[in-house]
Copies of this chain bind each other. A is one copy, B any other.
Protein backbone atom coordinates (compact mmCIF):
# COMPACT_ATOMS: atom_id res chain seq x y z
CA UNK A 1 0.00 0.00 0.00
CA UNK A 2 1.46 3.39 -0.89
CA UNK A 3 2.64 4.90 2.35
CA UNK A 4 1.16 8.25 1.40
CA UNK A 5 -2.31 6.76 1.73
CA UNK A 6 -1.48 5.33 5.15
CA UNK A 7 -0.85 8.82 6.43
CA UNK A 8 -3.32 10.97 4.52
CA UNK A 9 -5.60 11.21 7.54
CA UNK A 10 -2.78 12.79 9.55
CA UNK A 11 -2.35 15.84 7.35
CA UNK A 12 -2.42 19.13 9.25
CA UNK A 13 -3.45 17.55 12.53
CA UNK A 14 -1.62 18.90 15.60
CA UNK A 15 1.03 16.44 16.77
CA UNK A 16 0.64 14.34 13.64
CA UNK A 17 4.39 14.32 13.02
CA UNK A 18 4.64 11.68 15.73
CA UNK A 19 2.03 9.39 14.16
CA UNK A 20 3.59 8.88 10.72
CA UNK A 21 3.91 5.23 9.67
CA UNK A 22 7.57 4.21 9.95
CA UNK A 23 10.09 3.99 8.48
CA UNK A 24 9.37 7.31 6.78
CA UNK A 25 11.51 9.92 5.08
CA UNK A 26 10.63 13.14 6.86
CA UNK A 27 11.44 16.52 5.38
CA UNK A 28 11.45 19.63 7.58
CA UNK A 29 10.16 22.29 5.20
CA UNK A 30 11.35 25.23 7.29
CA UNK A 31 14.88 23.86 7.20
CA UNK A 32 14.65 23.00 3.49
CA UNK A 33 13.54 26.53 2.62
CA UNK A 34 16.27 28.05 4.78
CA UNK A 35 18.89 25.91 3.01
CA UNK A 36 17.66 26.84 -0.44
CA UNK A 37 17.65 30.53 0.50
CA UNK A 38 21.11 30.33 2.07
CA UNK A 39 22.70 28.78 -1.02
CA UNK A 40 20.92 31.21 -3.35
CA UNK A 41 22.16 34.16 -1.27
CA UNK A 42 25.69 32.78 -1.27
CA UNK A 43 25.72 32.34 -5.04
CA UNK A 44 24.37 35.85 -5.58
CA UNK A 45 26.99 37.31 -3.27
CA UNK A 46 29.72 35.53 -5.23
CA UNK A 47 28.44 36.23 -8.70
CA UNK A 48 28.04 32.59 -9.65
CA UNK A 49 24.90 30.88 -10.88
CA UNK A 50 23.29 27.73 -9.51
CA UNK A 51 22.26 24.65 -11.46
CA UNK A 52 21.38 22.37 -8.53
CA UNK A 53 21.69 18.63 -8.90
CA UNK A 54 18.32 16.86 -8.87
CA UNK A 55 20.01 13.48 -8.39
CA UNK A 56 19.92 14.25 -4.68
CA UNK A 57 16.24 15.03 -4.20
CA UNK A 58 14.63 13.50 -7.34
CA UNK A 59 11.53 15.54 -6.59
CA UNK A 60 9.63 18.04 -8.74
CA UNK A 61 8.40 20.09 -5.78
CA UNK A 62 11.95 20.68 -4.57
CA UNK A 63 13.16 21.39 -8.10
CA UNK A 64 10.47 24.04 -8.40
CA UNK A 65 11.61 25.70 -5.17
CA UNK A 66 15.18 25.77 -6.49
CA UNK A 67 14.07 27.28 -9.80
CA UNK A 68 11.98 29.87 -7.96
CA UNK A 69 15.10 30.79 -5.97
CA UNK A 70 16.92 31.62 -9.19
CA UNK A 71 18.47 28.39 -10.46
CA UNK A 72 19.36 28.36 -14.18
CA UNK A 73 18.05 24.83 -14.53
CA UNK A 74 18.56 21.43 -12.93
CA UNK A 75 21.29 18.86 -13.29
CA UNK A 76 20.38 15.18 -13.68
CA UNK A 77 22.76 12.24 -13.47
CA UNK A 78 20.52 9.96 -15.50
CA UNK A 79 18.21 10.49 -18.44
CA UNK A 80 15.25 8.79 -16.78
CA UNK A 81 15.59 11.22 -13.87
CA UNK A 82 15.12 14.14 -16.26
CA UNK A 83 12.29 12.32 -18.04
CA UNK A 84 10.45 11.85 -14.74
CA UNK A 85 10.91 15.47 -13.71
CA UNK A 86 9.89 16.68 -17.18
CA UNK A 87 6.74 14.57 -16.91
CA UNK A 88 6.04 16.48 -13.68
CA UNK A 89 6.34 19.79 -15.53
CA UNK A 90 9.96 20.83 -15.03
CA UNK A 91 12.31 21.86 -17.81
CA UNK A 92 15.90 23.06 -18.51
CA UNK A 93 18.06 20.01 -17.79
CA UNK A 94 21.77 19.35 -17.92
CA UNK A 95 22.68 15.67 -18.15
CA UNK A 96 25.92 15.48 -16.18
CA UNK A 97 27.07 12.11 -17.52
CA UNK A 98 27.42 10.97 -21.12
CA UNK A 99 24.24 9.67 -22.76
CA UNK A 100 25.42 6.69 -24.76
CA UNK A 101 23.81 4.37 -27.29
CA UNK A 102 21.20 4.80 -30.00
CA UNK A 103 18.14 4.06 -27.86
CA UNK A 104 19.25 6.44 -25.13
CA UNK A 105 20.14 9.20 -27.58
CA UNK A 106 16.69 8.88 -29.14
CA UNK A 107 15.17 9.39 -25.68
CA UNK A 108 17.42 12.40 -25.07
CA UNK A 109 16.23 14.07 -28.26
CA UNK A 110 12.62 13.36 -27.40
CA UNK A 111 13.23 15.04 -24.05
CA UNK A 112 14.94 17.99 -25.72
CA UNK A 113 11.90 18.46 -27.94
CA UNK A 114 9.62 18.89 -24.95
CA UNK A 115 11.59 20.17 -21.98
CA UNK A 116 13.03 23.51 -23.02
CA UNK A 117 16.80 23.68 -23.09
CA UNK A 118 18.41 20.27 -22.69
CA UNK A 119 22.17 19.96 -22.51
CA UNK A 120 24.40 16.92 -22.26
CA UNK A 121 28.05 16.31 -21.52
CA UNK A 122 30.35 14.28 -23.76
CA UNK A 123 33.79 12.73 -23.38
CA UNK A 124 33.98 10.43 -26.41
CA UNK A 125 34.23 11.23 -30.12
CA UNK A 126 32.15 8.30 -31.29
CA UNK A 127 29.34 9.14 -28.85
CA UNK A 128 29.52 12.78 -29.94
CA UNK A 129 29.23 11.89 -33.63
CA UNK A 130 26.24 9.69 -32.85
CA UNK A 131 24.63 12.60 -30.97
CA UNK A 132 25.23 14.93 -33.89
CA UNK A 133 23.84 12.49 -36.45
CA UNK A 134 20.76 11.75 -34.35
CA UNK A 135 20.12 15.47 -33.71
CA UNK A 136 20.37 16.07 -37.48
CA UNK A 137 17.99 13.24 -38.24
CA UNK A 138 15.51 14.45 -35.62
CA UNK A 139 15.87 18.10 -36.61
CA UNK A 140 16.41 18.93 -32.97
CA UNK A 141 19.02 21.24 -31.40
CA UNK A 142 21.12 20.07 -28.50
CA UNK A 143 23.53 21.91 -26.24
CA UNK A 144 26.75 20.05 -25.54
CA UNK A 145 29.39 20.51 -22.85
CA UNK A 146 32.72 18.76 -22.84
CA UNK A 147 33.20 16.79 -19.64
CA UNK A 148 36.72 17.18 -18.25
CA UNK A 149 38.20 14.76 -15.72
CA UNK A 150 39.70 17.01 -13.03
CA UNK A 151 40.83 14.24 -10.72
CA UNK A 152 37.80 12.12 -9.95
CA UNK A 153 38.67 9.57 -12.64
CA UNK A 154 35.06 8.69 -13.40
CA UNK A 155 34.01 10.44 -16.60
CA UNK A 156 35.58 13.18 -18.67
CA UNK A 157 38.43 13.71 -21.11
CA UNK A 158 41.82 13.60 -19.47
CA UNK A 159 43.59 16.35 -21.39
CA UNK A 160 43.08 19.47 -23.51
CA UNK A 161 44.00 17.65 -26.72
CA UNK A 162 41.03 15.34 -26.36
CA UNK A 163 38.81 18.35 -25.58
CA UNK A 164 40.01 20.10 -28.73
CA UNK A 165 39.10 17.07 -30.84
CA UNK A 166 35.61 17.03 -29.36
CA UNK A 167 35.19 20.81 -29.81
CA UNK A 168 36.06 20.35 -33.47
CA UNK A 169 33.39 17.71 -33.93
CA UNK A 170 30.81 19.90 -32.19
CA UNK A 171 31.72 22.86 -34.42
CA UNK A 172 31.06 20.70 -37.47
CA UNK A 173 27.70 19.38 -36.29
CA UNK A 174 24.90 21.73 -37.37
CA UNK A 175 22.44 20.76 -34.65
CA UNK A 176 24.95 20.73 -31.78
CA UNK A 177 25.92 23.90 -29.92
CA UNK A 178 29.06 24.09 -27.81
CA UNK A 179 27.95 25.34 -24.40
CA UNK A 180 31.17 25.00 -22.45
CA UNK A 181 32.86 22.66 -19.98
CA UNK A 182 31.98 20.50 -17.02
CA UNK A 183 34.52 19.55 -14.40
CA UNK A 184 33.24 17.84 -11.27
CA UNK A 185 35.73 17.29 -8.47
CA UNK A 186 33.85 14.54 -6.68
CA UNK A 187 37.00 13.43 -4.91
CA UNK A 188 37.16 16.80 -3.13
CA UNK A 189 33.66 17.19 -1.71
CA UNK A 190 34.04 15.20 1.50
CA UNK A 191 37.55 16.21 2.55
CA UNK A 192 36.76 17.24 6.12
CA UNK A 193 39.39 19.98 6.63
CA UNK A 194 38.76 23.35 5.04
CA UNK A 195 42.36 24.20 4.09
CA UNK A 196 43.04 20.78 2.62
CA UNK A 197 39.78 20.82 0.71
CA UNK A 198 40.53 24.31 -0.65
CA UNK A 199 43.91 23.19 -1.91
CA UNK A 200 42.44 20.09 -3.57
CA UNK A 201 39.54 22.02 -5.05
CA UNK A 202 41.69 24.78 -6.51
CA UNK A 203 44.17 22.25 -7.91
CA UNK A 204 41.29 20.52 -9.69
CA UNK A 205 39.83 23.76 -10.97
CA UNK A 206 43.24 24.82 -12.28
CA UNK A 207 43.14 21.79 -14.60
CA UNK A 208 39.72 22.85 -15.78
CA UNK A 209 40.92 26.43 -16.35
CA UNK A 210 43.84 25.16 -18.42
CA UNK A 211 41.49 23.26 -20.74
CA UNK A 212 39.17 26.27 -20.92
CA UNK A 213 42.09 28.51 -21.90
CA UNK A 214 43.38 26.09 -24.53
CA UNK A 215 39.96 25.95 -26.14
CA UNK A 216 39.59 29.72 -26.02
CA UNK A 217 43.01 30.15 -27.63
CA UNK A 218 41.80 27.83 -30.38
CA UNK A 219 38.79 30.06 -30.94
CA UNK A 220 36.32 28.12 -28.85
CA UNK A 221 35.39 30.08 -25.71
CA UNK A 222 33.31 28.37 -22.99
CA UNK A 223 30.17 30.31 -22.07
CA UNK A 224 29.47 27.88 -19.23
CA UNK A 225 31.93 26.22 -16.89
CA UNK A 226 29.93 24.02 -14.56
CA UNK A 227 30.90 21.90 -11.58
CA UNK A 228 31.34 22.02 -7.85
CA UNK A 229 29.25 20.57 -5.09
CA UNK A 230 28.06 21.23 -1.58
CA UNK A 231 31.45 20.32 -0.14
CA UNK A 232 33.33 22.88 -2.21
CA UNK A 233 30.62 25.51 -2.69
CA UNK A 234 32.25 27.99 -0.31
CA UNK A 235 35.65 27.59 -2.01
CA UNK A 236 34.88 27.36 -5.70
CA UNK A 237 33.84 30.95 -6.52
CA UNK A 238 37.17 32.37 -5.31
CA UNK A 239 39.00 30.24 -7.88
CA UNK A 240 37.23 32.16 -10.63
CA UNK A 241 36.76 29.16 -12.91
CA UNK A 242 33.21 27.94 -12.48
CA UNK A 243 30.35 30.06 -13.80
CA UNK A 244 27.83 27.90 -11.99
CA UNK A 245 27.63 25.38 -9.15
CA UNK A 246 26.00 21.93 -9.34
CA UNK A 247 25.22 21.73 -5.63
CA UNK A 248 22.96 18.93 -4.46
CA UNK A 249 23.13 17.83 -0.83
CA UNK A 250 22.89 21.34 0.66
CA UNK A 251 19.10 21.22 0.50
CA UNK A 252 18.92 18.75 3.38
CA UNK A 253 22.48 18.02 4.57
CA UNK A 254 23.33 14.63 6.10
CA UNK A 255 25.64 12.96 8.63
CA UNK A 256 28.35 12.73 5.98
CA UNK A 257 28.38 16.48 5.29
CA UNK A 258 27.94 17.33 8.97
CA UNK A 259 31.50 16.01 9.36
CA UNK A 260 32.85 18.50 6.80
CA UNK A 261 33.90 22.00 7.89
CA UNK A 262 32.14 23.65 4.97
CA UNK A 263 32.97 27.27 5.69
CA UNK A 264 36.29 27.11 7.52
CA UNK A 265 34.87 28.58 10.71
CA UNK A 266 33.05 25.51 12.03
CA UNK A 267 29.73 27.16 11.26
CA UNK A 268 27.09 24.94 9.65
CA UNK A 269 25.52 26.91 6.80
CA UNK A 270 22.83 24.27 6.17
CA UNK A 271 20.37 22.80 8.61
CA UNK A 272 19.55 19.10 8.98
CA UNK A 273 16.29 18.97 7.05
CA UNK A 274 15.91 15.25 6.41
CA UNK A 275 15.27 12.43 8.85
CA UNK A 276 14.27 8.83 8.79
CA UNK A 277 11.64 8.26 11.42
CA UNK A 278 11.64 4.76 12.84
CA UNK A 279 10.00 2.91 15.70
CA UNK A 280 11.11 0.36 18.24
CA UNK A 281 9.73 -3.06 17.33
CA UNK A 282 11.42 -5.18 19.97
CA UNK A 283 12.90 -4.45 23.40
CA UNK A 284 13.72 -7.83 24.93
CA UNK A 285 17.30 -6.98 25.89
CA UNK A 286 18.65 -4.60 28.53
CA UNK A 287 21.33 -2.86 26.46
CA UNK A 288 19.68 -2.35 23.11
CA UNK A 289 16.42 -2.21 21.19
CA UNK A 290 15.54 -3.12 17.62
CA UNK A 291 13.96 -0.54 15.30
CA UNK A 292 12.17 -0.91 11.98
CA UNK A 293 14.78 0.69 9.70
CA UNK A 294 17.63 -1.29 8.15
CA UNK A 295 19.54 -1.36 4.90
CA UNK A 296 16.40 -0.97 2.79
CA UNK A 297 15.68 2.41 4.40
CA UNK A 298 19.09 3.88 5.20
CA UNK A 299 22.11 4.18 2.90
CA UNK A 300 24.86 1.77 3.89
CA UNK A 301 27.68 3.37 1.91
CA UNK A 302 28.72 5.96 4.47
CA UNK A 303 28.54 6.75 8.17
CA UNK A 304 25.78 5.46 10.45
CA UNK A 305 22.66 7.58 10.93
CA UNK A 306 22.61 9.70 14.08
CA UNK A 307 19.81 9.63 16.64
CA UNK A 308 18.43 13.15 16.64
CA UNK A 309 15.39 12.97 18.86
CA UNK A 310 12.72 10.78 20.36
CA UNK A 311 13.32 7.60 22.29
CA UNK A 312 16.83 6.26 22.82
CA UNK A 313 18.64 9.60 22.97
CA UNK A 314 22.38 9.06 23.09
CA UNK A 315 22.15 5.61 21.56
CA UNK A 316 24.10 4.52 18.50
CA UNK A 317 22.70 2.87 15.40
CA UNK A 318 23.93 -0.29 13.74
CA UNK A 319 22.28 -2.17 10.90
CA UNK A 320 21.04 -5.65 11.81
CA UNK A 321 19.40 -6.62 8.56
CA UNK A 322 17.59 -5.32 5.53
CA UNK A 323 14.61 -4.22 7.61
CA UNK A 324 15.99 -3.65 11.09
CA UNK A 325 18.48 -1.61 13.04
CA UNK A 326 19.85 -1.83 16.53
CA UNK A 327 20.05 1.13 18.88
CA UNK A 328 22.68 0.43 21.51
CA UNK A 329 21.60 2.37 24.57
CA UNK A 330 23.90 4.56 26.64
CA UNK A 331 24.78 3.15 30.08
CA UNK A 332 21.90 3.70 32.47
CA UNK A 333 19.66 5.01 29.69
CA UNK A 334 15.95 4.41 30.18
CA UNK A 335 14.98 1.58 27.90
CA UNK A 336 12.56 2.61 25.14
CA UNK A 337 9.46 0.48 24.65
CA UNK A 338 8.05 -1.13 21.49
CA UNK A 339 6.24 1.55 19.50
CA UNK A 340 8.45 4.43 20.67
CA UNK A 341 9.50 6.82 17.92
CA UNK A 342 13.05 7.78 17.03
CA UNK A 343 14.27 10.37 14.52
CA UNK A 344 17.52 9.67 12.69
CA UNK A 345 19.53 12.20 10.71
CA UNK A 346 20.00 10.59 7.29
CA UNK A 347 23.50 9.12 6.90
CA UNK A 348 24.14 9.81 3.18
CA UNK A 349 21.20 11.66 1.74
CA UNK A 350 21.17 10.68 -1.97
CA UNK A 351 20.81 6.88 -1.73
CA UNK A 352 18.63 7.17 1.38
CA UNK A 353 16.17 9.37 -0.52
CA UNK A 354 16.26 6.88 -3.38
CA UNK A 355 14.86 4.19 -1.05
CA UNK A 356 11.60 6.07 -0.49
CA UNK A 357 8.66 6.99 -2.70
CA UNK A 358 7.52 9.96 -0.62
CA UNK A 359 8.74 12.84 1.46
CA UNK A 360 6.63 13.27 4.57
CA UNK A 361 6.80 17.06 4.92
CA UNK A 362 6.54 18.56 8.39
CA UNK A 363 6.36 22.04 9.88
CA UNK A 364 6.64 22.18 13.63
CA UNK A 365 4.68 19.26 15.03
CA UNK A 366 2.44 18.75 12.01
CA UNK A 367 2.60 16.60 8.92
CA UNK A 368 1.62 19.21 6.34
CA UNK A 369 2.21 17.53 2.98
CA UNK A 370 3.31 14.30 1.29
CA UNK A 371 5.45 14.88 -1.80
CA UNK A 372 6.08 12.19 -4.39
CA UNK A 373 9.72 11.48 -5.23
CA UNK A 374 8.97 11.28 -8.94
CA UNK A 375 12.44 10.23 -10.07
CA UNK A 376 13.02 7.65 -7.33
CA UNK A 377 14.60 4.58 -8.87
CA UNK A 378 15.07 6.35 -12.19
CA UNK A 379 18.58 5.11 -12.79
CA UNK A 380 18.41 4.31 -16.51
Contacts and interface: CB of A to CB of B under 8 A. Distances in A.
Contacts of A77: 322-323
A337 B125 CA distance: 11
Contacts of A21: 80, 103-104, 380
Nearest to A349: B322
Interface in A287-313: 288, 290, 292-293, 295-297, 299-301
**For the complex, would chain A's binding face be called helix, strand, loop or mixed by DSSP majority?**
loop
A153 interface: yes
Given A80-B6, A284-B158, A300 B297 contact: no
A124 B284 contact: yes
A269 interface: no
Contacts of A376: 377
A97 B324 contact: yes
B380 A350 contact: no
Interface-centre pick from A6, A83, A293, A380 (highest chain B CB count, 10 A): A380
Nearest to A157: B284
A83 B1 contact: yes
Interface string A149-183: 10011111110001000000000000000000000
A207 interface: no
Contacts of A153: 285, 288, 320, 326
A102 to B, nearest CB: 8
Contacts of A152: 320
Given A107-B6, A338-B126, A155 B322 contact: no
B339 A100 contact: yes
A3 interface: yes
A357 interface: yes
Contacts of A324: 97, 154-155
A282 interface: yes
Contacts of A377: 296, 355-357, 376
For this chain, the copies found in one complex come to 2
Given A156-B282, A323-B78, A338 B293 contact: no
A279 interface: yes
A379 B23 contact: yes
Contacts of A338: 98, 100-101, 124, 126-127
Interface string A121-133: 0011011000000
A87 interface: yes
Contacts of A149: 284
Given A77-B323, A80-B3, A158 B285 contact: yes
Contacts of A104: 21
Given A154-B321, A357-B377, 4 more contacts: A21-B104, A55-B322, A101-B279, A153-B288
The 9 closest A-B pairs by CB, nearest first: A155-B282, A1-B83, A21-B380, A300-B301, A101-B339, A100-B338, A77-B323, A100-B339, A322-B350
23 contacts: A6-B103, A21-B103, A55-B322, A98-B338, A126-B337, A126-B338, A127-B339, A149-B284, A152-B320, A154-B326, A155-B284, A155-B324, A156-B284, A158-B284, A162-B284, A293-B379, A295-B351, A296-B354, A296-B379, A299-B300, A355-B377, A357-B377, A376-B377
Interface of A: 1, 3, 6, 19, 21-24, 55, 77-78, 80, 83-84, 87, 97-98, 100-101, 103-104, 107, 123-124, 126-127, 147, 149, 152-158, 162, 186, 279-285, 288, 290, 292-293, 295-297, 299-301, 319-324, 326, 337-339, 350-351, 354-357, 376-380
